[in-house]
Every structure is written in C-alpha cells, then in structure tokens.
Homo-oligomer: A and B are copies of this chain.
Amino acid sequence: MNLNVGIIGATGYTGYELVQILHRHPQAQLAWATSESSAGKSLGDLYPTPDDIPLLRQEDAPLHLADVIFLCLPHVASMDAVAQVRAAGVRAIDLSADFRLPSAAVYERWYGHTHTRPELLDEAVYGLCEVNRSQIKQAHLIGNPGCYPTTVNLGLWPLARAGVLRHRIIADSKSGVSGAGRALKLASHFVEVNENFSPYSIGYSHRHIAEMELVLGPWVPGLQVTFSPHLLPVNRGILSTLYVEVDPALSEKDVRSLYAGAYAGEPFIHLLPPGQVATLRHTVGSNRCAIGLTPLPYPGQWIITVSEDNLIKGASGQAVQNMNLMFGLDETAGLV
C-alpha cells in the first residue's frame, strides 16, 4: 500500500516536521500541502531544505487526491477544515485541540470558544496510540494528542488503569521553544529565552490539563491535577517530572511490573531500568517516550520522569503513528 497524504498548514513547525517524516516514510508520500500565510510560495522559500513543494491555498487543496489528510492549523480554525475533509470522505488526523476532548462543553470550558462541529466529536478518537490502539485502527477522524499531556498520560497510565494512583498529581513540565510555534512573540525571541528559564500558566490554568483529566480521570476518583509548564532554552523536547502517590501496599517491584505489563511490546516506550531517570537526550529526534521510575523513601510516593520530542511523539510523529495504525501499516514505518 502506498498512501497519498495531504497536509493542511504545512509551514508551522508541526507541519514541516510531518513533511520530513513523510519524506522518509516507505509507504506514504506527500501529495500536496497548503499554507495560509505562504500560498503561492514553495516550502524551500521558508525552510532551508532542498525538498521543495508548492504551497497551495487551503481552498484549492485537492482533498480527494489524498488517502489521509493531516491538519496543522490553530485551534478553532481546524473545526471547519476537518468538517470539509470528512465531508469529502477522506480520513483526517487533526493536530489541533479541536477534536481531542469528548464534548463541546468540556472544549468550551477550557478553550473559551463554542465548538461549531460538535457532531464530529462523536466520530473523533483521541489518538494516544498506546492507550487507544484498537479504536484508532477503526477511526476516520483522530484528535492527535497535545504535547504535554502525552508525557503525563503515558507516564501515569499504568498506575491509573490499575487503580492504584492516588488523586493528587503534580506535573512539573519543561518544554523546548518549538512547542510555542513559529509565530512571532516576545516569549519566543532568542534573547528573551536563551540563558533564561521561566514557569508560565502554572497552577490549574493550562488547557492541556483537560487531556490529562480525559485520560486519567475515569480511573482516578477526585483527580486533582497541578500542572506547571516551564519554558526551556532548547529547540525540542519535553521533560515532565511527576510527583505522585500510589497505594503504599505496592512494592517497588509491583510498581515496575505494572509498567512492564502495560507497555509490553510497545515499540516507542523506553522503560528505563532502576536508578535511571529520563532526560531529553533519551528521546529528542525519535518517536520514543522514555519513562523512569524513582521511589521516594516515603511510603507510596514516587517520582516519574518522562521525556519525549514535543514535535515527534508529542505531535507529528504520533500523528504518523496514528496514520500507520489506521491503514494497517507497520506501526513504526517512517518513525525512529
């Protein structure tokens, strides 16, 4: 099988990352790409790449020439675009937040916008591959997970689904600057970021908490997330340091068994041996998620360290992993 792929919004960091992954993918090729801001130019005008593609206007995209379409648009903007793709009968993988949450009400609470395509929310599957694999294989519309929640959810999923995770979770997360996108803002200016390190939106305010509650909430009664994102002076990578409490009856071996069981055979989960902690270097440049388990000397208390490349496993790599699952390809095709 050889898939034809379209990308709507190819010139932001996640779009460009998709282009690069697809370039290496043995069973998929880029059929067309659009850009709101740069239609009429070609990708080589915007990025220092010899692999040039013309950039179409979104309304000129030949939707039907694609077997699957990735949408890399800002949230809200993605609602109608996804609807058009689905109306054309083409499968969609949406990298915005618009189709991640289960209901329009939850969406509106966190994003402050009315969801104008609530009927598509039922069709949408949350594309966290290691958790929702069987649903993803049947899906026609994927809400591709956010970067931060992927680390927190993969880091705690084995504990949550086993029913041993206590309700108070502290996630102290640190992300590289590409997570903030290519748009111009003072917070992404080199001189403001370099040699600096800053918390932002700490407490209970960042929108990505909604996805943590979505995945972990059903398993953890009274879940209480404290989430502290920080801006790291690096291009790529997220490291989340998670402070959690589990049933104190569980031994260290018990806890490790839960992870080993939950992630047995997972090609992209790198479960670290005892004594090791996750670092950015474990995962940047790959689709992997590295997880380290560190027990505290206080009964039931653990520190879970989790890393990923925010543009790959936290965005475009996971999107391709979803595509591979949806079309019955080798789940690792095109990914390292």
Q: Interface residues, chain A, CB within 8 Å of chain B?
A: 13, 23-24, 48-50, 170, 172, 174, 177-178, 182, 184-186, 188-200, 202-204, 224, 226, 228, 230, 232-237, 239, 241, 243, 270, 277-282, 284-285, 288, 290, 292, 294-298, 301, 303, 305, 336
Residue of B nearest to A237 (CB): B197
- Asked if residues B184 and A279 are in contact (CB atoms below 8 Å), the reply is no
Q: What residues on B are CB-neighbors of A292 within 8 Å?
A: 199
Partner of A189, one of B170, B184, B241: B184
Q: What residues on B are CB-neighbors of A285 within 8 Å?
A: 285
Given A48-B290, A233-B234, 16 new contacts (CB under 8 A): A170-B170, A172-B241, A182-B191, A184-B184, A184-B185, A188-B189, A189-B189, A190-B235, A192-B281, A194-B194, A194-B234, A197-B280, A199-B279, A199-B292, A204-B298, A226-B298
A148 to B: closest C-beta gap in Å: 15
- CA A24 to CA B25, docked complex, whole Å: 12
- Asked if residues A239 and B203 are in contact (CB atoms below 8 Å), the reply is no
Residue of B nearest to A279 (CB): B198
- Asked if residues B184 and A303 are in contact (CB atoms below 8 Å), the reply is no
- CA A189 to CA B226, docked complex, whole Å: 30
Q: What residues on B are CB-neighbors of A184 within 8 Å?
A: 184-186, 189
Residue of B nearest to A201 (CB): B277
Most buried by B among A189, A190, A284: A190
Partner of A194, one of B24, B197, B235, B270: B235
Partner of A203, one of B13, B194, B290, B294: B294
- Asked if residues A296 and B204 are in contact (CB atoms below 8 Å), the reply is yes
- Asked if residues A48 and B203 are in contact (CB atoms below 8 Å), the reply is no
Residue of B nearest to A236 (CB): B195
A72 to B: closest C-beta gap in Å: 16
- Asked if residues B243 and A191 are in contact (CB atoms below 8 Å), the reply is no
- CA A184 to CA B191, docked complex, whole Å: 11
Q: What residues on B are CB-neighbors of A48 within 8 Å?
A: 279, 281-282, 290
Q: What residues on B are CB-neighbors of A234 within 8 Å?
A: 194-197, 233
Q: Is the interface of A mostly helix, strand, loop or mixed?
A: mixed
5 contacts between A and B (CB under 8 A): A192-B281, A197-B234, A203-B303, A243-B243, A285-B285
- CA A301 to CA B192, docked complex, whole Å: 30
- Asked if residues B270 and A50 are in contact (CB atoms below 8 Å), the reply is yes
Partner of A296, one of B203, B284, B294: B203
- Asked if residues B194 and A279 are in contact (CB atoms below 8 Å), the reply is no
Beyond A184-B185, A185-B184, is A233–B230 a contact (Cβ under 8 Å)? no
Residue of B nearest to A186 (CB): B184
A166 to B: closest C-beta gap in Å: 13
Most buried by B among A188, A196, A288: A196
Q: What residues on B are CB-neighbors of A24 within 8 Å?
A: 336
- Asked if residues B226 and A296 are in contact (CB atoms below 8 Å), the reply is yes
- Asked if residues B204 and A297 are in contact (CB atoms below 8 Å), the reply is yes
Q: What residues on B are CB-neighbors of A197 within 8 Å?
A: 174, 232, 234, 237, 239, 279-280
- CA A214 to CA B195, docked complex, whole Å: 31
- Asked if residues B190 and A277 are in contact (CB atoms below 8 Å), the reply is no
- CA A237 to CA B278, docked complex, whole Å: 22
